[in-house]
Amino acid sequence: MSNALFAVRDLLREGATLSREEIAQRLSLPSSTVEAALEHWRSRQKLQVLQPLAAAPACSSGGCGGGACGSCGSRKPAPPATQYRWRDWSPVQ
């Protein structure tokens, strides 16, 4: 776990703003491991957590709750993911 902690830290210190899934993919780590590492750094106030804005409804008919039924040809998009950014990052020199 300690290697995962530092891998997540180092990735975010580079100035990236990423979701948990993006971090897991870039580091080839299980999502649960990344989640634990993010919680560790969040509890130490090292992360800025950026909550997504609510997505606008995809369906104009209004009868299906924003595209959930699919009858109008649109599908409700997946909600945007929470993003994480290192709080006191500075560019690597």
pTM greater than the 0.85 cutoff: no
**Token couple for 69:** 């039924």
Give tens-digit pLDDT for 22-66. Answer: 999 999 999 999 999 999 999 999 999 998 876 555 555 555 555
Give tens-digit pLDDT for 65-83. Answer: 555 555 565 566 666 789 9
Q: What is the pLDDT of residue 78?
A: 65
Q: What is the pLDDT of residue 23?
A: 96
Of residues 60 and 19, more confidently modeled: 19
What whole-number distance in Å separates Cα of residue 72 and Cα of residue 68? 10
Residue spans of the domains in the chain: they are: 2-54+81-86
What whole-number distance in Å separates Cα of residue 43 and Cα of residue 86? 13
The vertex-12 CA angle with 11 and 15, nearest 5°, equals 110
Name the β-bridge partners of 16.
none
Alpha helix stretches (DSSP H) within 28-73: 31-43
Instruction: State how far the alpha carbon of 67 is from the alpha carbons of 53, 54, 80, 81, 89, in Å.
Output: 18, 14, 16, 19, 40
CATH topology for the 2-54+81-86 domain? Arc Repressor Mutant, subunit A (1.10.10)
Number of helices (H), then strands (E), in the chain: 3, 3
